[in-house]
Amino acid sequence: MSIINFIEKFKKLNRTLFTTPSHGQGDFVAPLSLKLLGHKFFTCDYSEIEGFDNLASPIGIIKSAQDKAAEIYDAKATFFLINGASSGIVASMFAILKRGDKVLISRNCHKSVYNGLVFSGAVPIWLMPQYNRDWGIFEGINIDYLEEMLAKNRDIKAFIMTNPTYEGVMSDIYQISNICKKYNVILIVDEAHGALWNFHKALGTPALFQGADIVIQSLHKTAGALNPSALLHIGKNSPLGTKAIQQALNLINTTSPSYPLLVNIEATIDYLNSEKGKLYLYELVKNINRLIRSLKAIPNLEVYSYNNDITKILVKVTNMSGYELSDILYEKYGIEDEMANEKSVLFLTGLGTTKLKLKKLEKAMIDICANNIKISEDKPPKHYEPVEPRIKYTPAMVWGREYKEVDLKYALSRVSMELIADYPPGVPILLPGEVIRKEHLDYISDRQKIKVLV
Ligand SMILES: Cc1ncc(COP(=O)(O)O)c(C=O)c1O
């Protein structure tokens, strides 16, 4: 039985519960949250009471829902994540890597890999993807460079990469997984932004179909689910088992997973896999493509179109920084983008992106470009062009070590005890244990101090 059907049936039993959660399925709701959230959400919020399942060792309704999802995604196993893709990244690192194991990580990974490094004690080797100055974004993974790194470091145990990137750029996972297999390296793909790929061929090819061992998807990013729901899949032909992943998830997960989130995860997958869902997604993709075509016809406007997922619309306007465009859209048109950099602006679309919203964006862009709209610009944020990290200690080695705050002018060449990352996209600029370089200091020069290792 599905989680949803079970809860519907359970409600009708009208049991008297002396259990958590103490709101008693909405018998009490703090008045202000009732006003904002309504009552219904609470009526689905249960604990592991009789008949319900346990996310930490599922044998009932959660197991059935996860097994069904694994079938839909064509995975060996699928885990529902109620603490975001971040928890999937951390758990998979913790499950696979032992203290001292070497792990190759693409530097444009999400900062949750740092948490995985602290927990696992693994030693990071960073792969720097090419930086595209014209757009202010990272490119995909260069296959030759990857092979070179793996050939040079034969003891690397796993490779962690993001596909698509935060801005939608795709890499050739098929070739990457073949290289990883050749060097006996486990491939973990953070597909947080590719959660719709299994349901529409034109968006991208899921890493699960291309030989990845572990794939993590955020359902809340493009697939229309509640924050912070996500999935972790194990590849069908991967040698990895499910036990280590479950144990690692249990170490970091709450013992009170949210049933509203689990219900929403199940319902989202069900919908995406239905004929109705596929049609809905088909329409969405059609509408996005229509918008992109229209944007491309606007003079002085460029849309990034080089092997990317079109749900991430990256644009730039001639003689205008991404920050300026972002400010104009926000202040004059009430449009908020996902992210801006010195060159471009990123619009994230997904199941909730209506035709009306796309139209509004189109009109605003036409207006801005045709009428040369400007606003008085605040001081633009500093530009940071990624530099190779210099590792003095691994994140695990400096975790909990004594630190002090020093003025920036005394920080050059000291060991950072801070994680510095812009959010979004949450890509680390500097991690604890890394040597502070001039480029870092230039970038954070608005600050007074930074934490360094004593
Ligand atoms: C590429 C990437 N991976 C992982 C994450 C973390 O996802 P979540 O918010 O689901 O934990 C993010 C969040 O921004 C992301 O952009």
Q: By alpha-carbon position, which residue is closest to atom 15 of ligand 1?
A: 110
Q: Where are the alpha helices (DSSP H) in 97-236?
A: 112-120, 143-152, 173-182
pLDDT band at 82 (very low <50, low <70, confident <90, very high): very high
Question: How many CB atoms are located within 10 Å of the residue 336 CB?
Answer: 9
Q: Identity (one letter) of the amino acid at 281? A: L
Mutational test site, ligand 1, from 93, 218, 252, 308, max ligand atoms within 8 Å of CB: 218
DSSP per residue, 7-62: HHHHHHH-----SSSTTTTTTS--HHHHHHH-SHHHHT---S-TT---TTS--SHH
Distance CA 394, CA 125 (A): 10
Residue identifier of the C-alpha nearest atom 12 of ligand 1: 110
Which atom of ligand 1 lies closest to the CA of 426? 14
User: Per-residue pLDDT averaged across 332-353, rounded?
Assistant: 97
Question: Which one of 3.40.50.10420, 3.90.1150.150, 3.40.50.300, 1.10.150.530 gives the CATH number of domain 275-371?
Answer: 3.90.1150.150
For tokens 């470009």, what's the residue? 369
Does the Cβ of 252 fall within 6 Å of ligand 1?
A: no
The percent of residues in the chain predicted with pLDDT above 90, rounded, is 96
Residue 69 pLDDT grade (very low, low, confident, very high; cuts 50, 70, 90): very high
Query: pLDDT by residue (tens digit) across 380-395?
Result: 778 889 999 999 999 9
pLDDT digits 0-9 by tens, 110-159? 999 999 999 999 999 999 999 999 999 999 999 999 999 999 999 999 99
Non-local (6+) Cβ contacts of 95 within 8 A are 240, 244, 245, 247, 248
pTM: 0.97
Tell me the pLDDT band of 374, cut-offs 50, 70 and 90. confident
Residue 344's identity, in one-letter code, is S
Is residue 74 predicted with pLDDT exceeding 90? yes
Ligand 1 pocket test, pick from 80, 112, 252, 308 with the greatest ligand atom count within 8 Å of Cβ, gives 112
The pLDDT of residue 181? 98
426 lines ligand 1 (CB under 6 A): yes
**Beta carbon of 261 within 6 Å of any ligand 1 atom:** no
Q: Would the CB of 110 count as within 6 Å of ligand 1?
A: yes
Is residue 285 scored above 90 in pLDDT? yes
**CB of 230 sitting under 6 A from ligand 1:** yes
DSSP count for the chain of H helices, then E strands? 15, 17
Spacing of C-alpha 300 from chain mean position: 31
Distance 63 CA to ligand 1 centre (A): 25
438 CA → ligand 1 middle, Å: 28
Buried b (16+ CB within 10 A) or exposed e, 389-415: bebbbbbbbbeeeebeebebeebeebb
Task: Write out the H or E segment, with its range, that includes residue 250.
Answer: helix 243-252
CB 436 within 8 A of CB 416: yes
Atom of ligand 1 nearest to the CA of 83: 11
CA dihedral 392, 393, 395, 396 (to 10 degrees): 180
The dihedral through the CA atoms of 432, 435, 439, 441 has a sign that is positive
Ligand 1 pocket: which of 137, 215, 221, 427 to mutate (most atoms <8 Å of CB)?
Answer: 221
Strands (E), 257-410: 301-303, 312-317, 339-340, 345-348, 403-407
Of 93 and 379, more confident = 93
CB count, 10 Å around CB of 187? 25
Q: Give the residue-averaged pLDDT of 415-429.
A: 95
Query: Domain 395-453 class?
Result: alpha beta
Mean pLDDT score of the chain: 96
For the segment(s) 53-273, the CATH number from 3.40.630.30, 3.40.640.10, 1.20.120.430, 3.40.710.10 is 3.40.640.10
Question: Residue 377 pLDDT > 90, yes or no?
Answer: no
* Ligand 1 mean position, distance from CA 363 (Å): 30
- The vertex-344 CA angle with 107 and 206, nearest 5°, equals 50
Whether omega before 425 lies within 30 degrees of 0, making that bond cis, reads: yes
Atom of ligand 1 nearest to the CA of 424: 14
Comparing CA positions, the residue from 46, 37, 59 lying closest to residue 8 is 46
pLDDT score for 268? 98
Q: Residue 220 — very low, low, confident or very high, per pLDDT cuts 50/70/90? A: very high
pLDDT tens digits, 83-124 = 999 999 999 999 999 999 999 999 999 999 999 999 999 999
Domain map (residue ranges) of the chain: 1-51, 53-273, 275-371, 395-453
pLDDT of residue 372: 84
CB 179 within 8 A of CB 146: yes
CA dihedral angle for residue 88, residue 92, residue 93, residue 97, rounded to 10 degrees:
170
Strand partners, 121: none
> Residue range 212-231: average pLDDT?
98
Share above pLDDT 70 across residues of the chain, in percent, rounded to a whole number: 100
Secondary structure of residue 375 in the 3-state scheme: coil
Instruction: Give the separation between CA 201 and CA 307, rounded to whole angstroms.
Output: 14
HSE (side-chain half, CA atoms, 13 Å) at 214 = 28
Q: What is the pLDDT of residue 42?
A: 96
pLDDT at 378 over 80: no
What is the reported pLDDT for 381?
78
Cβ 166 under 6 angstroms from ligand 1: yes
Q: DSSP H helical segments within 97-196, as ranges? A: 112-120, 143-152, 173-182
Does ligand 1 have an atom closer than 6 angstroms to the CB of 192? yes
CB 161 near ligand 1, within 6 Å: no
d(CA 254, CA 110): 22
Tokens of 314: 């990256």
Q: What are the tens digits of pLDDT across the range 295-331?
A: 999 999 999 999 999 999 999 999 999 999 999 999 9
